[in-house]
Structure formats: C-alpha cells, structure tokens
C-alpha cells in the first residue's frame, strides 16, 4: 500500500481532513499528519477535529511518500507562507506523485508554482487567483490533471476521496507538466483577470 502525507496547519476544514484520512486508512494506506511543528496540536476551523502533527514538513522528503493531500480551510493560507511546505509540495509534484488539493488548498499549488497550465477547480473565491497564476479553472466537484487532483468544497470531499483512491490504485494519468489537456469543454480561459 501507499504512504500518504496529509499536510495541514491550524484552521483546516474539518471534514476535508477527516474524510480523506479515514478513507485512505480504510483502504489500507499508511497516512502521516505532516505540519509545521511536530508534536503540535492543530484544530479544525469548525472545532470538530483536532489532530497532532506527527512529522514536521521541514524533516520530510518526497522520497518518503507516494502521495500528498492538502485539506482546505485557512490552513493552506498559512502553509503557503512556509518555505518547507512549499518546497515539499513542489518536490512531490515534480516527482509525479499524486497531489490532492481540496477547497482553498490550491493556494499552496499557486505558491509552489504548480498552477500554471493546469486545469483545476477550487472554492469559488480562488478562481481569480488561479487564473492569474496561469491555471484554467472549472466548476466541477473533482478535476484530475495529471498528478494534480483538485476539488471545490466540503460537499465534494466524498467524490474527491473516491477519485484520489482510484488514482492511487491505477496510477497517475499520463500528462507531463506543461502539456495541454485536449478537452477544453467547460474551462475558463486563462487570461489575466484584473
């Protein structure tokens, strides 16, 4: 089975951590909670979930993990300001390992310079940020573009978990970073938005 890192900081969206975590574990995968400070307790923004950071993102390597999941909420905004979180996310992507970014998590993709030329979805308020970063945004519950798997909202996290598990089982779909997908249906144009 795969070894998965869930990268999180305080004020994560509770169900966007809990549901993928449970589904990955139920499928037999080994899951580590990775964050800014090992041993720190972080609480979800709804106050329903509380987790302990098992490993510091400064101490982990893309070589130790097969995939990465980043829950949304306010956590990605804090993670994108951390050099090690950005480095780890980028290294995982460049190693062609699946990266799941839910809701507000595509902020971390932008900071890691992974959004350009990608078809993604997100919480609606990130649309302009993603377009300005060169992504092509679409309003779908889950979008797979090579090794980047994005999802919109807490309501979509079940579908996200299904797709993420399928990518783990079947492998990353063929697409090199920078290669344009052939299906243009329903995709916003990637022109600069002012």
DSSP secondary structure, the chain, as one string: --EEEEE--TTB-HHHHHHHHHHHHHTT-EEEEEESSTT-EEE-TTSS-EEE--EEGGG--GGG-SEEEE--BTHHHHHTT-HHHHHHHHHHHHTT--EEEETTTHHHHHHTT--TT-EE---GGGHHHHHHTT-EE---SEEEETTEEEE-SGGGHHHHHHHHHHHHHH-PPS--TTPPPS--TT--------
- The answer to whether the CB of 187 falls within 8 A of the CB of 126 is no
What local confidence, expressed as pLDDT, does residue 58 receive?
A: 98
Average pLDDT for the chain: 91
Delimit the domains of the chain by residue range.
Answer: 3-170
**C-alpha pair distances (Å), 10 with each of 17, 80, 147:** 11, 13, 26
Cα–Cα nearest to 109, from 21, 7, 179, 32: 7
Instruction: Read off the tokens for 188.
Output: 């916003």
Rounded Cα distance, 110 and 105, in Å: 9
Contact (Cβ atoms closer than 8 angstroms) between residue 11 and residue 78: yes
- Tens of pLDDT along 39-52? 999 999 999 999 99
Q: Which fold, 3-170?
A: Rossmann fold (3.40.50)
As given in the structure block, the two tokens for residue 14 are: 């509770």
Taking the alpha carbons at both ends of the chain, their separation in whole angstroms is 45
Average pLDDT over residues 109-118: 97
pLDDT at residue 187 above 90?
Answer: no
Region 153-179: mean pLDDT is: 86
Which residues are tagged catalytic?
A: 103-104
Model pLDDT, residue 174: 76
Please tell me whether the overall predicted TM-score, pTM, comes out greater than 0.95 for this model. Answer: no
């Amino acid at each position: 089975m795969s070894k998965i890192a869930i990268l999180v900081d305080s004020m994560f969206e509770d169900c966007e951590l809990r549901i993928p975590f449970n589904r990955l574990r139920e499928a037999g995968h080994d899951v580590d909670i990775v964050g800014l400070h090992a041993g720190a307790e972080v609480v979800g923004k709804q106050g329903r979930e509380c987790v302990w950071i098992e490993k510091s993102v400064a101490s982990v390597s893309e070589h130790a993990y097969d995939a990465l999941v980043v829950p949304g909420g306010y956590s990605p905004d804090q993670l994108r300001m951390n050099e090690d979180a950005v480095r780890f996310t980028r290294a995982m992507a460049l190693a062609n390992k699946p990266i799941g970014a839910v809701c507000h998590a595509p902020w971390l993709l932008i900071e890691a310079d992974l959004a350009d030329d990608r078809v993604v979805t997100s919480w609606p308020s990130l649309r302009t940020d993603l377009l300005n970063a060169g992504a092509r945004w679409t309003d779908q519950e889950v979008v797979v573009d090579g090794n980047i798997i994005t999802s919109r909202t807490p309501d979509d996290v079940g579908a996200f978990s299904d797709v993420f598990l399928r990518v783990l089982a079947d492998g990353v779909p063929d697409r090199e970073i920078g290669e344009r997908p052939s299906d243009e249906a329903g995709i916003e144009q990637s022109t600069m938005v002012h």
